[in-house]
Structure 1
Amino acid sequence: MSENQKHRRDMTRRRVLAAGGGVVVAAGIGAGVVSSASADTTSAGATEKTTSGEACYRLTSETTEGPYYIDADKIRKDITEDREGIPLTVRLKVIDSESCEPLQGAAVDIWHCDALGIYSGYESLSTGGGGGAPGGSTPPTGTPPTDAPTGTPPTGAPTGTPPSGGPGGGGGGGHEEPTDDKRYLRGTQLTDKHGYVEFTTVFPGWYRGRCVHVHTKVHVGGTMTSAGYEGGHTCHTGQLFFAESAVLDSAEVAPYSTSTTERTTLDADTIYPGNGSEGGLLTLKYRAKKIEKGVLATLTLGVDPDATHTGTDS
């Protein structure tokens, strides 16, 4: 076999692998969801190039871990607990970015704030969004930033300069030790043989200085124990982002509509890398004008299982 023939064969194999990855993604999210948007369905987010031979070879962008990570010991699908908000299903597929093969048995963590910007484990540090706490609990009593606006509803264009990090901004500032034992909106799942995990949660709210987002980590090489997933290493630390149109729709629904915190848009965020699905921009599906009925968020994460990315040096 000549070198040219060998090259053509290898390229053909790459395209078949890429196409195969796309077919699995489509089959996994259900026929009603993968169909094009209709009169009563909205699709918001990035369009993944599932037919491109290069698509599944792109590494998903690494970002900062943020100050509110807790090494999760809760292996569970439903992380909602008592939090109120728009139902959200997060369905992620994890693949080896070089081979396009799904990673089975990888541990995927997600964690995010509630509808009013409060993080479990850090209620006294979260600046929140005001308007009362969801789930019938008492809002945290921490002192808000002196320049935080009051009485201003969210709009499409934020005002003021967002902070570059620290606990209030959630963009870095080093790890903070938990201040309480709450663990809502946090959990871990192991990927199945097709590389999928699925979480049931609520649509996140916002807090000063950050756009709406969900944190995620992917761990490989560890084992399940009675205490949770242990050992191995973290091969990906990233954040998942939401299209601006969906966030504006959510802001019309209680309890999000009670927030008085100024909102940072996706484009103005200091963490979002601005590169679509490669940077963590979710594909969102929900009924037009009925986002309160629920949202399906999907994304394929391309990771290097041999690399170590903890997000603490970003």
Structure 2
Amino acid sequence: MKRRTLVLGGAVIVASSIAAAAIWPRRHVVVAARTFDWKGSDFLSGGTKSVALAKLPAPLFRTRPNCVITVAQTLGPCYVNDVPVRQDISEGKAGLPLRLAVRIVHAADCRPVNNADIEIWHTDHRGIYSGREAARMCTLGDAEAVSGLAFRGRQLTDEAGQASFLTTYPGWYEGRTPHVHCRILVERNELLVSQVYFDDALSDLIYGEHPDYLGRPPRNTRNDDDRLIPGRDAADHIFDFEKLEGGVLSATITIGLSS
């Protein structure tokens, strides 16, 4: 029986692969003291070209999901319209391969939301957004970034309220901690615009050791310093993560809708 480890914000839960396949409220999970001994070389580099999303193990979510209302945040100047429906949103760009899985639930009772339209966007490994419509402060006028739509995509959730994207770990940029934007519509009604964040220790490891992220100066903003991250509710807006066999990083989050 293979065991998988999901790292939370300060703890570790361990579940068997058999248990992980069960319906999430009934999965047996053991909470233990956090361990974190990975190295940058433990992960793949060069983007997602060698990764098949269908062959990765099912996303592992917390036994007790974050059935709380996810705080709304600004859409921001880097949003663009008409992004494609797709799973691999990296467009072949460099970076640490990241399977990003989202579970959308009704916050009141944890019921999964089927057919929710979730759109995500984030920067490349250099901290640059794509998109011709995005403000110049987002693309920095980079010709390749302006002409493409890398690291942007949308999907509909399944009956379990889940959707998975294949991407790479986002880079940092001045004034912000690493994050992923999301916009959720149900029956064409916008119910939430928000952002999800990464564990500081994980970002330190990747930016300091992974070959695709070296060569930039140290980031100047951490989670505690970011003015946009929800203060009291910050823990509910940070991805849980695990290192999959083969060097792919998996990040999961439960997003609670208020209606």
* Fold match by TM threshold 0.5: yes
Match of 1:294 among 229, 248, 254: 248
Query: What SS is found at the alignment partner of 1:260?
Result: coil
Tell me how many residue pairs correspond in the alignment. 211
Of 154, 157, 160, the residue aligned with 1:188 is: 154
| Long gaps (5+) in structure 1 | 1-22, 129-138, 142-178, 222-231, 306-314
Paired with 2:38 and 2:212, the residues of 1 have a C-alpha distance of 23
* 1:205 correspondence with 2:171: yes
Indicate the percent of aligned positions where both proteins have the same amino acid: 29
State the partner residue of 1:250.
Answer: 206
Distance between the aligned counterparts of 2:165 and 2:26, measured in 1? 18
- Aligned partners of 2:118 and 2:111: how far apart in 1? 17
2:225 is aligned with what amino acid?
Answer: A
Structure 1 residue 100: Cα displacement: 1.7
Which residue pairs with 1:140 in the alignment?
142
Question: Partner letter of residue 188 of structure 1?
Answer: R
Whole-Å Cα distance in 2 between the matches of residues 34 and 197 of structure 1?
Answer: 25
Compute the TM-score of the two structures, normalised by the length of structure 2. 0.71
SS at match of 1:267: helix
Q: Which has the higher contact order (CA 8 A, sep 6+)?
A: 1
The alignment partner of 1:193 has SS state of coil
What's the C-alpha RMSD, in Å, of the aligned pairs? 3.3
TM-score (structure 1 length as normaliser): 0.59
| Aligned AA (1:75) | V
Structure 2 residues not aligned, in runs of 5+: 1-21, 40-60
Cα distance in 1 for residues equivalent to 2:258 and 2:210: 39
1:145 aligns to what? Answer: none
1:82 to partner: Cα distance: 2.3
Q: Deviations over 1:145-174 (max 9, x none)?
A: xxxxxxxxxxxxxxxxxxxxxxxxxxxxxx
Distance in 2 separating the partners of 1:191 and 1:213: 21
Give 1:262 shift: 3.7
The separation in 2 between residues aligned to 1:34 and 1:82, in whole angstroms, is: 37
Check the 8 A contact 2:24/2:63 in 1, yes or no. no
In the other structure, the counterpart of 2:193 is 237
User: What are the Cα deviations for residues 173-197 of structure 1, in whole angstroms up to 9, with x where unaligned?
Assistant: xxxxxx9331000000100001000
Task: Go from structure 1 to structure 2 and tell me whether the alpha carbon gap of 1:64 and 1:124 turns closer, same or farther (over 3 Å shift).
Answer: closer
After superposition, residues 24-173 of structure 1 pair within 5 angstroms as 24-25=23-24, 50=64, 56=67, 58-121=68-131, 122=134, 124-126=136-138, 140=142
User: Which structure has the greater CA radius of gyration?
Assistant: 1
| Structure 1 residue 294, shift from structure 2 partner | 2.3
**Contact 1:72–1:109 under 8 Å retained in 2:** no
Matches of 1:27 and 1:67, distance apart in 2:
41
Distance 1:27 1:75, change over 3 A: farther
Distance 1:181 1:39, change over 3 A: closer
